[in-house]
Amino acid sequence: MKKALLINSEISYVISKMGHTDHITICDSGLPVPNNVQRIDLALKEGIPSFLDTLETVLEELKVEEVVIAGEMINISKDLHDKMIDMIKSKAGEKVLLTYVSHEEFKEETRESKAIVRTGEFTPYANVILKSGVVF
């Protein structure tokens, strides 16, 4: 049995295949998933699993160099945004690049993701694209 924190086989497999600048998206329960992108649906019911719990687990496993966020999150879901930024800086490092785009641009960029991980989060704009870095 895998000893590391992340035990979800689908997410672990996607991360193991990711190269430099590849994307994985973690989203709330409402973000549309493009037909050509693998959907990893973790949502069980409202709030389970949460966006932050899922993000924290993925950040334990994935080296991240850039994070893409919909700018609308700052005003509409400020509390979650601030917690997310604190977590990203804590887990990925202070030097991680934070890129803000419109929600429409965000949805377009998800088309490039290796996978989209859907959570049970019901907070608006609780979505993030993680771009893989390198460990050396």
CB neighbours of 36 closer than 8 A, spacing ≥ 6? 111
Given 9, 13, 20, 60, which residue is catalytic? 20
Taking the C-alpha atoms of 32, 37, 41 and 45 in order, what is their torsion angle to the nearest 10 degrees?
Answer: 0
Q: Which residues are annotated as a binding site for substrate?
A: 28, 103, 125-127
**CA angle (15 as vertex; 35, 89 as ends), nearest 5:** 105
Q: Give binding residues as ranges.
A: 28, 103, 125-127
Match 């190269």 to its residue by tokens.
19
Active site residue 81: no
Closest C-alpha among 75, 66, 58, 77 to residue 109? 66
Dihedral sign, Cα of residue 124, residue 70, residue 64, residue 90: negative
Question: Which residues participate in catalysis according to the annotation?
Answer: 20
